[in-house]
Structure 1
Amino acid sequence: MSIVGELGINMTAEGMAALSKLDDLLDTTIEVGYHADQTAADGEHTLAEIAYWNHYGTLHKDGSVMIPARPFMDTVKKHSEELSEFSQQAMSSLETADAVANAIGSQAKSMIQDAIKDEDWVPNAPITIEGGWMMNEYGKKGPVPVHIEGKRSTKPLIDTGTLRQNCHYVIKKGKK
């Protein structure tokens, strides 16, 4: 706000409030997605790991695709203009910097959840849908047989809803 005084600008109360909100948001970071403390249903992995594997995909040792990439987290970047417009509206209509940050975090989270549910991702593989036995080449002592329960759905990322439902945001304040 010091630049306003240096320029000799006499701001309205509304302008001062907006500038104060911007100042409060200056050192605010909104992290959206999955964090290391969120455990997946299998109890062995974190949701962050599951999200990473699904977002980027994984490969078999021979280089063939094991899990196809389904980049649902990219929706925030893909729709950055929409999020920017939303952020401007939040700045104009909400009273505090905390309310603005929470609104932006909630909107970004909703965008990711909608992408998981609505995008046209590569369908699940037949073994994923129907279930059965397969060899997991990444066993601790070499390949091991693994039984897949089957999801009964061709739509990826939504079988239990855990990934979609547990996307969240965290607001961090202070210097990075």
Structure 2
Amino acid sequence: MAIANDIGLDLTPEGRAAMDRLNELSSVTIEVGYQADQKAADDETSLAEVAYWNHYGTLHKDGSVMIPARPFMDTIKKHSEELAEFSQQALSSLETADSVVNAIGSQAKSMIQDAIKDEEWAPNAPITIEGGWMMNEYGKKGPVPVHIKGKSSTKPLIDTGALRQNCQYVIKKGKK
């Protein structure tokens, strides 16, 4: 509000409230995605790792694609104007800074969940769908045979639903 006072503006009560919300929001960060303490279906692997592998893809030792990149997290960047519009509406219609950041976090989370569910991604490999034996070349003592049980969905990123359901946002307050 110092800027308004510096240039001689006398704000309305609504203007003062909006400036107060903006001041509160200036030190807030909203992180959307997966946290290190979230576990995947095997209860050992971090869900953040699974999200990373699926977002960026992975390679076999020979350089061929193991998991194709499916950049679902980029939806925030792809739809940044839509999220900015939503943020403006939240700022002008909600009364507290907490309600504004929760609305924005919830919207960003929904955008990622919708991308996982609705986007057209590189298809799953037949062994991913049908299951079977394959060699895991990244075993602790060298290549080891592993059995893939197959997935209940042919759609990439959708099997147990854990990746979509466990996307979350975290609000961090304090100096940037």
Offset, 1:137: 0.2
Q: How many residues align?
A: 176
Aligned to 2:3: 3
Q: Which shows bigger deviation, 35-44 or 79-88? A: 35-44
Aligned to 1:44: 44
Contact 1:54 1:69 in 2 (8 A): yes
Alignment deviations for residues 10-69 of structure 1 (CA, whole Å, 9 cap, x no partner): 111111111110000000000000010101111221000000000000000000000000
Aligned to 1:68: 68
Matches within 5 A, 1:60-99: 60-99=60-99
Residue type of the partner of 1:115?
Answer: A
The runs of at least 4 aligned residues of structure 1 exceeding 2 Å deviation read none
CA distance in 2, matches of 1:45, 1:152: 20
Offset, 1:152: 4.0
Alignment deviations for residues 73-101 of structure 1 (CA, whole Å, 9 cap, x no partner): 00000000000000000001100000000
Task: Give the TM-score taking structure 1 as reference length.
Answer: 0.98
CA distance in 1, matches of 2:25, 2:152: 45
Identity of aligned residues (%): 80
Unaligned runs of 5+ in 2: none
Residue type of the partner of 1:12?
Answer: T
Residue type of the partner of 1:15?
Answer: G
